[in-house]
Amino acid sequence: MKRWITGFLAAGLVLLSTTALHARETVNISLFTWPGYGFWFIAKDQDLAPDLNLEIQVIEDPYESFALMAAGRLDVSSSTVEYGPIAAHEDTPIRLVAYTNPSYGVDKIIVRPGVESAQDLVGEQVAVLEGGLTQIFMGIWLEDNGVGIDQVQFVNLIMDDAVGAMLSGQVAAAEFWEPFGSVLLENMPGAKVVATSSEPYWIETALLGDGMYMSEAFLDAKPELASRVMQAYFDAVAFWKANPEEGNRIIARNLGLEIGDVEMVIGATGNTHEGGVHVFDLAESARFMGLLEGEPPLGLSNGQIRDHWQLTSEWWERFGLIEGIQEPEAGIRFDAMERLVDRVAP
């Protein structure tokens, strides 16, 4: 009898374990090595979504992530917030679902020693992520300083490679976000910052920032799960705001960064970080997306995502990446956040 009971209990434990495992729905998420995306690791580390199995991949090229999403191998990706118009133009089944943080000084344009003005860059190579916000940032700065975007040669490089290209003399200027900008400045005496996202135009437009993307197949097939995944992210932001020291340790450990690098980007207090980014909580993001009454922080306006879409679309048209400007709904899905706001937002 004792042996039977022991066996029964063991079988029951296995059954419970298996049931618990199967109760968790797997969601495949990607991001690249940057502290502003590390909240996914907090959600996983703290088990803030006990019904979800968050499978997180670090993929340094955002376009690789987008390709994997289109192929059905990823559900969610955190990346910079400008891809929507390109996805809509190319009929790629990927949609922006949330704006997650505006830059507040973390982005910089740096020129090599000897470059005294934008005019010195005519005919030179400049490093950006083509099809990314860094290209628009560089384009606006060049034109504001009298140099056309057709007067320089854009070189498509991710951050690590851009640092190397600057140090080797391959490129004369580049756009960096932290901690890569500081790494370059420490290792290249005479290099200087000529523009930063702490300037009023960049704050007012919120042009430079990050977003959350989901595949359209995921949104259509599992709408409630999509909202639940988004909640896990914003629950992680709430955890970080209440426990910034512990949250930053989790992010640093999972991204292989020093704590100082994380603090340089998102700060050490859980509040707006001048020189870094302002991390949106759910209510702030919902206001920026136009799904909750009230104004976002930093002087931004309710529903400003639509102005952001227009501005990025205009620049992608100029760069020849799209033809014609579509409505925001062509590349933005509001329904996942709308369901979440109806359920949990104040």
95-116 per-position pLDDT tens digit: 999 999 999 999 999 999 999 9
Where does the chain hold its CATH 3.40.190.10 domain(s)? 21-102+206-344, 107-196
Per-residue pLDDT at 16? 41
Q: How sure is the predictor about 308, in pLDDT bands with cuts at 50, 70 and 90?
A: very high
Contact 193, 275 (CB under 8 A): no
Q: Do the strands 192-196 and 107-111 form a parallel or antiparallel pair, or are they unpaired? A: antiparallel
Exposure letters 203-241 (e unless 16+ CB within 10 A, then b): bebbbbbbbbbbbeebbeebeebbbbbbbbbbbbbebbe
Contact 29, 228 (CB under 8 A): no
Q: Which pLDDT tens digit goes with each residue over 230-260?
A: 999 999 999 999 999 999 999 999 999 999 9
Q: Is 3's pLDDT higher than 70? A: no
Task: Supply the CATH classification number for the domain 21-102+206-344.
Answer: 3.40.190.10
> Mean of the per-residue pLDDT values for the chain?
91
Task: Give the mean model confidence (pLDDT) for residues 9-28.
Answer: 58
Task: Give the mean model confidence (pLDDT) for residues 145-150.
Answer: 96
Per-residue pLDDT at 275? 87
Q: Is 2's pLDDT higher than 50? A: no
Q: Which CATH architecture has domain 107-196?
A: 3-Layer(aba) Sandwich (3.40)
Q: How sure is the predictor about 125, in pLDDT bands with cuts at 50, 70 and 90?
A: very high
